[in-house]
Structure formats: structure tokens, C-alpha cells
């Protein structure tokens, strides 16, 4: 048996009765059809969407144009409790929605959402509103398959490591527009949060082991900067191997939901000055636990600015009008 067979999706993992589930690659991603997302979905359907998320890590729904921001929030509540970002203002007229807008920057490096928080999101729900004619795809990587492919020696090393994640993330090497600079500055200054996570967490629903890294990584605990960076590169390279990755070409009305505990993702910045707009809701996760049973630990939590009265729309930050 080749290594690929270990995590193959060829055999159905679950007999879906209420939704159609079609895998997109051998290891990650499935398209779900036969569902119009809304708060009115039957519990049986919601349960199967949840099961597909655990099986395939990211699921895609086409043609969900009927879902407005408040409808997306109401649907999201069927899967969990919304978690607002601590340093990115929500979109005007919503309670939990982030306006992802190409005029405000592009998340074009590999990450797991908001890993500087101890209870970082379990699921992210992203609805495309405006897609470029071509380009602006998103890619996701399966961090469980990445762990499973490690040699026994590297698994042992990974399970012994803990890493600090921070929102004070270095954007310095990229030119930014005025709107981008405003949002990035707030992102890294409104709060200063650091959390130490195990490099290998045990997934609370599947029991699978999964690697926790991505661009909010700062340093491995107990190691110097150079050794930290070398080991980061080693494990990160295993995560983003082509065999672990799925790529989605967006059309307006597409919705992606991913298990943020078992994936990393990034957007592809290849669409020049075209618009790319999406609405995002994240759902609160639980505190990760390592293979040794030790939970993640918050080590810094400084609030410099209350962003609750701020809103962000069309790439601009403004004060809420009540
Ligand atoms: Fe993201």
C-alpha cells in the first residue's frame, strides 16, 4: 500500500442520505449539492454537512446567491457559535460578518484562521460575492494528512513541540495601499495576543492528529529563532505538499466551509486590480489539546483599542453610525 492510500477518499466514509457529496481531490475537498443553505435546514441535513466537513475538511456549495449576510450568520449558527475577530471590525449592518475585500489586502500566504487565539475557529464559512473573471482562487491543505505522512521519527519530534502564535504578524515586505495599511495596522495593534499551541493537536471530533502552524506562527517554545524557522519550514513544507491541497475557482454565490482545525488555506493573488469580495463568518473552536493531554495556553492578551464601535466595508474602516 502506498502512503497515498492511507488517507484516500476512494471509499465512502459515510453513507449520506440527505445531501450529495462529490470529492474534488483524493485527499481533501468535496462539493455538496442538493442544498440551499439557510437557517431553516433540517437537522438531518445539518448533521450530514458537519459529517462531510469532518470527512473532507473543506466543502463547497454552488449557487447560494439567495444567502445574504444575515442569512449566512443565521445558517452559521446551526453549526456553532459565531466568534468575532479581535482586531478586524465587522461589516456594517451585521453582527459577525467580515467583509473580505481585495481593496483591503489579500491573504496570500498559508495560514489557519486566527490561531493567535486559544479558541481559534473550528469552522469558517466564506461566501463569494464578487469573483474576478479569472484568478483569485483559494487553496486549502489537509493538515491531518500532512501529519499522517510524517515518518515515525518526525511524528515523535512534532508531538514534543509547542509553538507560540501571534497577531503581530510581519507584513513589512509587501507594498500596501492606504486602505490596506489602515486595516493591517489595526490588525496588529488593536490587540497583542500570543497563544502557545501544541504543534500536534488531537481533533476533538475525529480524534485525528493534526499539525497546527501557518503564518501566525512566531516561535517554537524553548528554541531560538533560527532553529524555530528551520523546523517551521520543515513541517510547513509537509503540510502544503500538492498531494494535500485542493484549489477552488470561485463564482459569485459559491460558499466554502472549512474545518479550520484540520486545514490551512491561502488566496492566490493573480488577478491584478480586479475586485474580489466575500463575506466571512467564523465559529468558535475549543481549546486545542496536545497528544500529551496539555491544552493550549494564552501567554499574552493586551487590548490597546476597543474596535466594537468600528465597522469595515468596501475596504474602509469607519465609526458605526447608530
Ligand atoms: Fe483566512
- Please tell me the distance between residue 193's alpha carbon and the centre of ligand 1 in angstroms: 17
- Please tell me the distance between residue 17's alpha carbon and the centre of ligand 1 in angstroms: 31
Task: Provide the whole-model pTM.
Answer: 0.94
Contacts of residue 195, Cβ cutoff 8 Å, sequence gap at least 6: 115, 116, 117, 118, 120, 164, 165, 296, 297, 298, 299
Q: What is the total count of domains within the chain?
A: 1
DSSP assigned state of 289: B
Q: Residue 2 above 50 pLDDT?
A: no
Q: Which residue has the cell 456553532?
A: 80
CATH number at residue 144: 3.60.130.10
- Please tell me the distance between residue 153's alpha carbon and the centre of ligand 1 in angstroms: 31
Residue 223 lies in a domain: yes
Mean pLDDT for all residues in the chain: 93
Q: Residue 147 corresponds to which cell in the numbers above?
A: 501529519
Residue 40 lies in a domain: no
Residue 12 lies in a domain: no
Among candidates 136, 119, 121, which has minimal Cα distance to 258?
121
Residue 248 lies in a domain: yes
- Determine what percent of the chain is predicted with pLDDT higher than 90: 84
Residue 321 lies in a domain: no
Residue 159 lies in a domain: yes
- Please tell me the distance between residue 117's alpha carbon and the centre of ligand 1 in angstroms: 14
- Please tell me the distance between residue 108's alpha carbon and the centre of ligand 1 in angstroms: 9
- Please tell me the distance between residue 266's alpha carbon and the centre of ligand 1 in angstroms: 7
- Please tell me the distance between residue 112's alpha carbon and the centre of ligand 1 in angstroms: 6
Q: Which domain holds residue 223?
A: 82-312
Distances (CA, A) of 298 to 28, 195, 264: 31, 4, 21
In the chain the beta strands, taken as DSSP E runs, fall at 20-23, 30-33, 58-61, 98-101, 123-130, 138-142, 162-166, 191-198, 200-202, 209-211, 217-220, 245-248, 255-259, 263-267, 277-283, 297-303, 310-313, 316-319
Residue 212 lies in a domain: yes
- Please tell me the distance between residue 146's alpha carbon and the centre of ligand 1 in angstroms: 19
- Please tell me the distance between residue 289's alpha carbon and the centre of ligand 1 in angstroms: 22
* CB-based neighbours (< 5 A) of ligand 1, an ion: 107, 113
Q: Residue 3 above 50 pLDDT?
A: no
Q: Which residue has the cell 456549495?
A: 61
- Please tell me the distance between residue 140's alpha carbon and the centre of ligand 1 in angstroms: 10
Would you state the pLDDT for residue 56? Answer: 98
Q: What is the pLDDT of residues 118-176, one digit of tens each?
A: 999 999 999 999 999 999 999 999 999 999 999 999 999 999 999 999 999 765 545 56
Q: What is the pLDDT of residues 50-108, one digit of tens each?
A: 999 999 999 999 999 999 999 999 999 999 999 999 999 999 999 999 999 998 888 88
Residue 124 lies in a domain: yes
Q: Read off the pLDDT band of 242 (50, 70, 90).
A: very high
Judging by DSSP bridges, how do beta strands 30-33 and 58-61 pair with one another?
parallel
- Please tell me the distance between residue 111's alpha carbon and the centre of ligand 1 in angstroms: 6
Amino acid at each position: 500500500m502506498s502512503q497515498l492510500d492511507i488517507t484516500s477518499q476512494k471509499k465512502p466514509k459515510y453513507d449520506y442520505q440527505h445531501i450529495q457529496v462529490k470529492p474534488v481531490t483524493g485527499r481533501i475537498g468535496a462539493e455538496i449539492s442538493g442544498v440551499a443553505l439557510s437557517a431553516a435546514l433540517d437537522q438531518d441535513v445539518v448533521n450530514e454537512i458537519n459529517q462531510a466537513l469532518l470527512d473532507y475538511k473543506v466543502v463547497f456549495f454552488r449557487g447560494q446567491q439567495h444567502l445574504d449576510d444575515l442569512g449566512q450568520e443565521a445558517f452559521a449558527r446551526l453549526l456553532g457559535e459565531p466568534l468575532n475577530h479581535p482586531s478586524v471590525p465587522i461589516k456594517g449592518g451585521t453582527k459577525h460578518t467580515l467583509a473580505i475585500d481585495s481593496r483591503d489586502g489579500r491573504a496570500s500566504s498559508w495560514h489557519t484562521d486566527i490561531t493567535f487565539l486559544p479558541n481559534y475557529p473550528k469552522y469558517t464559512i466564506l461566501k463569494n460575492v464578487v469573483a474576478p473573471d479569472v484568478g483569485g482562487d483559494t487553496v486549502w491543505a489537509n493538515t491531518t494528512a500532512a501529519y499522517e505522512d510524517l515518518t515515525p521519527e518526525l511524528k515523535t519530534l512534532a508531538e514534543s513541540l509547542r509553538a507560540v502564535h501571534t497577531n503581530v504578524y510581519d507584513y513589512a515586505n509587501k507594498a500596501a495601499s492606504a486602505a490596506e495599511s489602515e486595516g493591517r495596522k489595526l490588525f496588529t495593534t488593536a490587540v497583542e495576543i500570543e497563544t502557545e499551541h501544541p504543534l500536534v493537536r488531537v481533533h476533538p471530533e475525529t480524534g485525528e492528529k493534526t499539525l497546527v502552524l501557518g503564518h501566525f506562527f512566531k516561535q517554537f517554545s524553548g528554541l531560538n529563532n533560527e532553529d524555530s524557522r528551520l523546523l517551521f519550514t520543515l513541517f510547513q513544507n509537509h503540510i502544503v505538499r500538492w498531494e494535500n491541497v485542493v484549489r477552488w475557482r470561485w463564482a459569485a454565490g459559491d460558499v466554502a466551509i472549512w474545518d479550520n482545525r484540520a486545514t490551512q488555506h491561502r488566496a492566490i493573488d493573480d488577478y491584478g486590480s480586479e475586485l474580489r469580495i466575500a463575506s466571512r463568518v467564523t465559529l468558535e473552536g475549543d481549546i486545542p489539546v496536545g497528544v500529551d493531554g496539555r491544552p493550549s495556553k494564552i501567554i499574552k492578551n493586551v487590548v490597546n483599542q476597543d474596535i466594537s464601535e468600528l465597522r469595515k466595508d468596501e475596504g474602509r474602516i469607519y465609526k458605526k453610525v447608530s
